[in-house]
Amino acid sequence: MPSRPLLRPVVFLLLGHALILLLLYAWPSLPDRLSALVPSLLNPSLAIAMTAVAGRSAVPHLSLHIAASSSGKGRKFTPELSTFDYHASASDGLGLQKGRTIEEKRLGGWVDHGIDPADFSHGLCSHMASISLQALDGTLGPRELLARAYAAVMSDPEIVGGGSTACVAVADTHGRMRVANLGDSGYVHLRLGTVHHYSDPQTHAFNTPYQLSLTPPDILRQTMIFGGVMLHDGPERADLSDHQLGHGDVVILATDGVWDNLDVQDVLKTVTRVMREAGAWKIDGRDGYAVADSIGDLVKQGRTRSQKLRGTLQAVLAAEIVGEAKAASLDTHRDGPFAKAVKKEFPYERWTGGKVDDIAVLVLVPVAGDEPVKAKL
């Protein structure tokens, strides 16, 4: 039996305005299966595409442990049904969380024109996932990936209109992570109880984020007759950033359903609490916190019962952040970032409390010294 080739994973983290989790595993048989699977995916809106190429090193510098969680607007949050891990050893090529179509009226009022705007974001993530499988050398950057997918959406006859923000990250096992962020979704990079980096929202005006969009000709004609401006921002307007990940860091990508209700310090507080309670970060008298040796077990399924976690470390983090954002969105007395912005922009408005919205979170925890990922034969 031939030996299994060693792989260097290249991870594409794709986050749009939607609720559904799509996991793509780049085993040798997947590209053939993907062409049949993608057209049948009705709700691929939050996607993680894993591709792999042959690597020379027997042990990757960092293993990348990923989980995602979400909660729909108007729905009760059930962590055990809405939180998912990516498993490199999974035998299936595809895992799909069932969900419902989302009405994103904020992004252009598409529903009023009989257009389901979720089709746009779903299609954008589907095309990104498909395109990423062709980038086996890991050279495809996040903005180029977004641009190619956007071009595919614009020429897709099944997508007639819609719009979406996007937060796209590309990471490798050497610890390099590149991010393209367009609009008011965003990310935060945490390290040992501190905020290492975070994105700033891109907006034209209050509650008017940058967005990729596709406008049907009839709506354009109405705009020309009755006035108004259809917002349209190309992928080239996405903010780019380049990061070096470290052992035990935590990276969170999230939609505006999180950032409208929690600020970066709120997220840091939640993550630090979970990392401390799980034993992943330990108190270090000299530097504040240090990464505990147990983190390698905490990120692996089936090895967390002794620590009494409800799942892997990354899954618990994702679910806790969604839970905090959900609670804040429903709290009529707790003013989050959105409420504070309303009071600043419109002092006479009586807005108090959170902003109810769809919430989606993706968490990445890099860990050093893990076993190399191997392909299926």
Distance CA 333, CA 326 (A): 14
Nearest Cα residue to 260 out of 343, 157, 359: 359
Say how many domains are in the chain.
Answer: 1
Q: With respect to residue 131, please indicate whether it lies within any of the assigned structural domains.
A: yes
**Prediction pTM value:** 0.81
Q: With respect to residue 377, please indicate whether it lies within any of the assigned structural domains.
A: no
Q: With respect to residue 22, please indicate whether it lies within any of the assigned structural domains.
A: yes
Per-residue tens of pLDDT for the chain, all 377 residues:
444 333 334 455 555 443 333 333 333 333 333 333 333 333 333 444 443 333 334 335 899 999 999 999 999 999 989 998 886 543 322 223 223 323 233 344 566 666 777 888 889 988 988 888 887 666 789 999 999 999 999 999 999 888 899 999 998 888 999 999 999 999 999 999 999 999 999 999 999 999 998 887 666 666 666 666 667 899 999 999 999 999 999 999 999 999 999 999 999 999 999 999 999 999 987 778 999 999 999 998 766 655 567 789 999 999 999 999 999 999 999 999 999 999 999 999 889 999 999 999 999 999 997 654 433 22
CB burial readout 174-195, b (16+ within 10 A) else e:
ebebbbbbbbbbbbbbbbbbee
Q: With respect to residue 105, please indicate whether it lies within any of the assigned structural domains.
A: yes
CATH number for the domain spanning 247: value is 3.60.40.10
Q: With respect to residue 208, please indicate whether it lies within any of the assigned structural domains.
A: yes
Q: With respect to residue 108, please indicate whether it lies within any of the assigned structural domains.
A: yes
Domain range for 94: 7-368
Q: With respect to residue 23, please indicate whether it lies within any of the assigned structural domains.
A: yes
Distance CA 79, CA 100 (A): 17
